[in-house]
Amino acid sequence: MAPQTTQDATTAAWVGIVIDTLKANKVEFVPYVPDKVLAPLIRQMAQDPFFTLLPVAREEEGLGIVTGAWMAGKRGIVLMQTSGFATLPNVLASLVVCYQIPALMLVSERGTMGDHQLGQALVCRTLRPILETLGIEHHTVQRLDEAEFIVDRTIRQAIATQAPACLILSPLLTNRPQGGAR
């Protein structure tokens, strides 16, 4: 289906970049806990036989799965939203970081730039401090023209350095104002 609006075209563009870059880096296992912003990405992955998409009950499970897959020779990325990330510090510290697992995370950043939920806004403030406390490399994707570079290089560095990494999708990427009335 052809994009109907400029916003649809932007969504199709970042989703396409993420999918192509994951494939180019052989990242095939994708446990996820859904998020509205990630919905078009999840939908497109579900139609692509390259990916093994796993709807997990909790984000921690997803990290367990990609850890097992990595140790057995395959790559994976866990999709989640900000509040899901906030459930992860114990598993990040006691499994992913200390065993040196290049577990990849893709977090849709909710609770910022106009979110109406106080709970989401508060939990959003924990995202980067947790990553920094644990020394986990993280990059925020804000612009389409940088997206491929950031996603590709982050994945490559994670694998080369055997360290986890987190990609944060900012509303500036996923919901950037297109100009004009919306």
Q: Where on the chain is the footprint of another protein (CB under 8 A)?
A: 29, 52, 54-58, 60-74, 76, 90-91, 93-95, 98-101
Closest CB 74 distance from another protein, rounded Å: 4
Asked if 52 contacts 69 with a C-beta cutoff of 8 angstroms, the reply is no
Closest CB 90 distance from another protein, rounded Å: 7
Regarding beta strands 137-141 and 52-55, do their DSSP bridges make them parallel or antiparallel, or are they unpaired? Answer: unpaired
Nearer to another protein among residue 58 and residue 138 (C-beta):
58
Closest CB 69 distance from another protein, rounded Å: 4
Closest CB 35 distance from another protein, rounded Å: 18
Nearer to another protein among residue 14 and residue 51 (C-beta):
51
Nearer to another protein among residue 86 and residue 144 (C-beta):
86
Nearer to another protein among residue 4 and residue 90 (C-beta):
90
Sign, CA torsion 174/127/138/91: negative
User: Rounded to an integer, what distance in angstroms lies between the CA atom of residue 94 and that of residue 89?
Assistant: 8
Q: Which amino acid is at 148?
A: E
Strand residue runs (E) in 47-161: 52-55, 75-81, 104-108, 137-141
